[in-house]
Amino acid sequence: MAKISQRAEHMPASPIRKLVPLSEAAKRRGVHVYHLNIGQPDIETPKGMLDAYRNHDLKVLEYGHSGGLWNYREGLSRYYRSHGIEVDKEEILVTTAGSEAIIFAMMAVMDVGDEVITPEPFYTNYNGFAAETGVRVVPVTSRPDQGYRLPPSEEIRARITPRTKAILLCNPNNPTGYVYQRAELERVREIVLEHDLFFISDEVYREFVFDGQHCSIFHLDGMDDRAILVDSVSKRYSACGARIGCLATRNRTVLDAVLRFGQARLCPPTMEQLAAQAALDTPAEYFDGALAEYRARRDAVFEVLERLPGVSGLKPQGAFYAIVELPVDSAESFCAWLLSDFDHGGETVMLAPAAGFYATPGLGERAVRIAFVLNVQAVRRAMEILAKALVAYPGKLALSA
Amino acid sequence: MAKISQRAEHMPASPIRKLVPLSEAAKRRGVHVYHLNIGQPDIETPKGMLDAYRNHDLKVLEYGHSGGLWNYREGLSRYYRSHGIEVDKEEILVTTAGSEAIIFAMMAVMDVGDEVITPEPFYTNYNGFAAETGVRVVPVTSRPDQGYRLPPSEEIRARITPRTKAILLCNPNNPTGYVYQRAELERVREIVLEHDLFFISDEVYREFVFDGQHCSIFHLDGMDDRAILVDSVSKRYSACGARIGCLATRNRTVLDAVLRFGQARLCPPTMEQLAAQAALDTPAEYFDGALAEYRARRDAVFEVLERLPGVSGLKPQGAFYAIVELPVDSAESFCAWLLSDFDHGGETVMLAPAAGFYATPGLGERAVRIAFVLNVQAVRRAMEILAKALVAYPGKLALSA
């Protein structure tokens, strides 16, 4: 029998999605599952965006430009300007979601065997994209006892090899909810200039900062040739299914390469770009409302978590995730057990085991990522179920007095 | 300055799209451009598909399953059954267009440095996907003087090395319009079984066969572990902008690997899947009408071409492309000149230089791919412009008497 490739064998299953067959089975048994495993918010997509689909007047659903529809790129440029980010429409390439933007950025600056340094825990799919592109993700561990701040520069420098080509930061961070400060970005900038690297910044949670200000990679000086921004409409407009993102850079050589990657796959979805363009007119109140809602959810989750013995986690400053340590033998077993063997009043909760967000073996094995993507009542109920489950779970750890 | 990757440097620009800046400039000068460079038909998208966007009732534009919406996969399974292709919904994974299906297939069965054999000329973006995935496309030349039939098995066998992992066939073929016969597929089958390879079949033009029957890879016996079908709604429903395709295989190991690739990028666009699902109900008359229309266009194009001195090309049996040899020094220079320096009554035509559809250096350098994607009147006018241009072009070849 013909064999699949090594890279296919080594391709990790998404820790966010690999328990899906168990959740599907639970639902078939009639158990209600609270999905806190995935960043799929229940916040309504802006009406203007949903109406754009309803009101289209296309007769032929055509290809668009490989770099994205020019009107949309113009709109994106205005959106960025309103956030103090100066990028022209020519410096923006629309991608099929943030996922493709990250893959294109990786392929543009790294060959097979090259390395990208990123703080761990990190967005788990960086691992998947790295496996696909043959790139090595080199983690530098950010620790909960240091608030998940950027690790000291010496720790980052210690990981630089001749194969290091880039540093990648997700800001605000998924999965920690940490918001990197300007001084931390300046530290990355210094290292990047020192070692002739690219700086890739994943800012898909830009709008979701509870405390303080968001600093973009484009707020830094002297980075024109090195800064690559990756972005997405998924979280911003609660439109994960639209699969529209973008990549922005002032480096013309990178732009040109990414456009060629884009040409091979022809174009991002046309109708979705029209909808994303309409979404740019979403009023400020929408974001104010969403941010207040996410804050309330975060507070509701932590109100319960803080009471639970042996449970610890840092209240995030941004995005809508938290990494939470649980008093269990294995978070992966626990998450599977929640779906296969447990329910409370016919309900259970789905969480993402945190180990998949780390590259260093052994880290995160007793932790989960919780996504605050359901309303306050639902997350409160989900945390109540989690509390009951932690008591019932056969693999729970004995707690010291 | 930080350098881009080797793969980015070597990534080919799409020969279909790399002249786009020239066509944009021509349009800015007020010149009308007939686009016969790209497979973007002007045939209307089925009303049912366009209405699906208008009639959606989503409040949250959510992620779907990484393998595609189950309802849509069920519908696809029925669609395939109606074409005598037996695949269950579990054996179908929805992809973001045929492009992603090809990339996933390549990554699933090939590592960096592995080889896939395909007849040339071939769909040019196979080169792009191969550059991205580190795979080598090994061409076996199909010749116009042999009607672009599958080359003799010995020529194919001669190209097999220890790194060969798959044979890839586009049927009906883009860019030649050739429709492979069952006996030819059986020959591929024999070689595939003999050398323990995969057989990847790109059947996105299934519905567009002018003469005779289409034979699918799934019409062959004993290929369950080896057959990988890649498909797309782009041409079928004149919906290139939807970016919905799929990959189908009965090989569970391949399915599982492709699903993990799919998990990393989360899901294909949700709304587009709902529209593609509605498109499955498109009445047979739509396809009858489209086929008749493409046939009329093909005939109109060849009516003119056959009169032009020094021009030769084979009338295609399927799809809506033809490779046509022109009496010019370089088809690439000629195509660029058409956009930059020529117009006839304020109009010009954009064609795709054929060299980019070959992997063997030197082949196709005086040929173009013509796509019959505009109505009869428009393609006739475009061919008239081509005729005038061939007379005016400074690099035209002297024709022997």
For the stretch B342-396, pLDDT in tens is 999 999 999 999 999 999 999 999 999 999 999 999 999 999 999 999 999 999 9
- Quote the CA–CA distance of B296 and B289 in Å, as a whole number: 11
pLDDT at A399: 81
pLDDT value, residue B2: 84
The dotted CATH code for A47-279 is 3.40.640.10
Nearest chain A residue to B244 by CA distance is: A269
Distance CA B371, CA B51 (A): 28
Token pair of B226 as six digits: 């080896």
Question: In chain A, which residues have their Cβ closer than 8 Å to the Cβ of B134?
Answer: 112, 134
What pTM was estimated for this model as a whole? 0.96
CA distance A161 to A119: 16
List of E strands, B163-273: 164-170, 198-202, 227-232, 245-249
B53 within 8 A of A271, measured Cβ to Cβ: yes
**Residue range A322-351: mean pLDDT, rounded:** 97
pLDDT at residue number A401? 54
Total Cβ atoms within 10 A of residue A200: 30
pLDDT averaged over chain A? Answer: 96
Q: Are B352 and B131 in contact (CB under 8 A)?
A: no
**Residue A10 and residue B173 in contact, taking contact as beta carbons nearer than 8 Å:** no
What are the backbone angles phi and psi of residue B67, rounded to the nearest 5°? -90, 5
- Which residues, 6+ apart, have CB-to-CB distance to A32 below 8 Å? A346, A347, A348
Q: Is the pLDDT of residue B17 over 90?
A: no
Predicted confidence (pLDDT) per residue in B222-232, tens digit: 898 999 999 99
**What does CATH list as the number for B6-44+284-392?**
3.90.1150.10
In the prediction, which pLDDT does B344 show?
98
Non-local CB neighbours of A155 within 8 Å, separated by 6+ positions: A140
Distance CA B290, CA A251 (A): 44
- Count CB neighbours of B212 within 10 A: 10
pLDDT in tens, B305-322: 999 999 999 999 999 999
> Which of the residues B63, B95, B164 would you substitute to probe the A interface, choosing the one with the greatest number of A C-beta atoms within 10 Å?
B63
The interaxial angle of helices B331-340 and B20-28, nearest 10 deg, is 20
Q: Per-residue pLDDT tens for B207-261?
A: 999 988 899 999 999 898 999 999 999 999 999 999 999 999 999 999 999 999 9
How many H helices and E strands in chain B? Answer: 13, 13
**Do the chains contact at B266 and A100, CB–CB below 8 Å?**
no
Distance CA A26, CA B150 (A): 50
Instruction: State the pLDDT at residue A171.
Output: 98
Option in A1, A197, A260 nearest B11 (CB): A260
Q: How far apart are CA B258 and CA B101, in angstroms?
A: 9
pLDDT at B401 over 70: no
Q: How confident is the model at residue A249 (pLDDT cuts 50, 70, 90)?
A: very high
**What is the per-residue pLDDT across A18-74, written as a single tens digit (0 to 9) for each?**
899 999 999 999 999 999 998 888 999 999 999 999 999 999 999 999 999 999 999
From chain B, the residues in CB contact with A8 under 8 A are 107-109, 254, 257, 260-261
Minimum Cα–Cα distance from B55: chain A residue: A54
Quote the radius of gyration of chain B (alpha carbons, Å): 21
Span A123-135, average pLDDT? 95
Please state, in angstroms and as integers, the Cα–Cα distance from residue A191 to each residue in A67, A158, A167, A187, following that order. Answer: 31, 11, 9, 6
SS3 B136: strand
Chain A residues touching B7 at Cβ < 8 A: 107, 111-112
ipTM: 0.95
* Of the partner residues B53, B59, B110, the one whose CB lies closest to the CB of residue A5: B110
Do A92 and A75 form a contact (C-beta atoms < 8 A)? Answer: no
A239 vs B43, B61, B253: nearest CB: B61
Q: Lowest mean pLDDT of A28-42, A191-205, B95-109, name the range.
A: A28-42
Does the distance separating the beta carbons of B43 and A60 come in below 8 Å?
yes
User: Mind telling me how many Å the CA of B172 is from chain A's nearest CA?
Assistant: 20
Nearest chain B residue to A13 by CA distance is B260
**Residue spans in chain A of domains classed CATH 3.90.1150.10:** 6-44+284-392
C-beta atoms surrounding B56 within 10 Å:
16
> pLDDT per residue over A370-388, tens digit each?
999 999 999 999 999 999 9
Helix/strand/coil for B382? helix
pLDDT of B49 strictly over 80: yes
Confidence of residue A185 (pLDDT cuts 50, 70, 90): very high
Cβ atoms of B117 and B156 within 8 Å: the answer is yes
Cβ(A165)–Cβ(A110) below 8 Å? yes
- Asked if A266's CB is within 8 angstroms of B125's CB, the reply is yes
| Residue at B267: amino acid letter | C
Q: Would the CB atoms of A263 and B64 count as touching at under 8 Å?
A: no
Strands (E), B142-294: 164-170, 198-202, 227-232, 245-249
Q: What is the rounded distance in angstroms from the CA atom of residue B172 to the CA atom of residue B122?
A: 11
Residue B39, pLDDT score: 85
Q: Do B270 and A241 touch (CB under 8 A)?
A: yes
Q: Which residues of A touch B253 (CB under 8 A)?
A: 4
- Rounded Cα distance between B105 and B273, Å, is 20
Other C-beta atoms lying within 10 Å of the C-beta of residue B81: 12
Q: Cβ atoms within 10 A of the Cβ of B187, count?
A: 17
Sequence ranges of chain A with CATH classification 3.40.640.10? 47-279
Smallest CA-to-CA distance from B135 within B168, B158, B157 is with B168
DSSP 8-state code for residue B250: S
Verify whether the Cβ–Cβ distance B40 to A58 is below 8 Å: no
Lookup: tokens for A326: 């649980």
**Location of structure tokens 């210094």:** A190
SS3 B209: strand
Express as a percent the part of chain A with pLDDT over 90: 94
